Amino acid sequence: MTNNRHLIALDLDGTLLTDKKVISEKTKRTVLQAMKEGHIVVIATGRPHRASIDYYHELGLETPMVNFNGALIHHPTDTKWKALHSPLPVRTAKAIIQTCYDLGVKNVMAEVSDDVYLDRYDEELMEILFTDKEESPITIGSLKNQLNVDPTSLLIHPHESHITTLRERLDTEHSTVIEHRKWGAPWNVIEVVRKGMNKSVGLKRIAHYYHIPQENVIAFGDEDNDLEMIEYAGVGVAMGNAIEELKDISNHVTETNEADGIGLFLEKYLDLSTKTV
Q: Are 229 and 199 in contact (CB under 8 A)?
A: yes
Please write the tens of the pLDDT for every residue from 4-26. Answer: 899 999 999 999 999 999 999 99
Amino acid at 192: V
Residues 138 and 64 in one domain: no
Residue 127 has pLDDT above 80, yes or no: no
pLDDT of residue 129: 67
Q: Which pTM does this prediction carry?
A: 0.88
For residue 84, report the phi and psi dihedrals to the nearest 5 degrees: -115, 115
Residues 102 and 178 in one domain: yes
Q: Which of 141, 162, 194 is the last residue of a domain?
A: 194
The domain that holds 114 is classified in CATH as 3.30.1240.10
7 vs 116, higher pLDDT: 7
Residue 277 has pLDDT above 50, yes or no: no
**Helix axis angle, 25-36 relative to 261-269, nearest 10°?**
30
pLDDT of residue 274: 54
What confidence tier does 185 reach under pLDDT thresholds 50, 70, 90? low
Amino acid at 187: W
pLDDT of residue 201: 95
Beta strands in the chain (DSSP E): 7-10, 40-43, 65-67, 72-74, 84-85, 107-112, 115-118, 138-140, 153-157, 178-182, 190-194, 217-221, 235-238, 252-253
Residue 259 has pLDDT above 70, yes or no: yes
pLDDT of residue 83: 92
The domain total for the chain is 2
Residues 126 and 219 in one domain: no
- 80-87: average pLDDT: 92
Q: Which of 194, 225, 241 is the last residue of a domain?
A: 194
Active site residues: 11
Domain that holds residue 172: 90-194
CA distance 206 to 227: 18
Residue 193 has pLDDT above 50, yes or no: yes
Q: Compute the mean pLDDT over every residue in the chain, rounded to the nearest whole number.
A: 91
Please write the tens of the pLDDT for every residue from 160-173. Answer: 888 899 999 999 99
Q: Which of 159, 169, 173, 120 is nearest to 143 (CA)?
A: 120
pLDDT of residue 136: 61
CA distance 162 to 108: 14
Residues 14 and 81 in one domain: yes
Other CB atoms within 10 A of residue 76 CB: 19
Please write the tens of the pLDDT for every residue from 219-239. Answer: 999 998 999 999 999 999 999
**% helix, strand, coil for the chain, step of 5:** 40, 20, 35
Residue 38 has pLDDT above 70, yes or no: yes
The domain that holds 271 is classified in CATH as 3.40.50.1000
Residue 222 contacts by C-beta under 8 Å, 6 or more apart in sequence? 11, 13, 14, 15, 184, 238, 239, 241, 242, 243, 246, 257
Residue 1 has pLDDT above 80, yes or no: no
Burial of 130 (0-12, 13-18, 19+ CB in 10 A): middle
CA distance 225 to 136: 25
Please write the tens of the pLDDT for every residue from 198-214. Answer: 999 999 999 999 999 99
Residues 97 and 42 in one domain: no
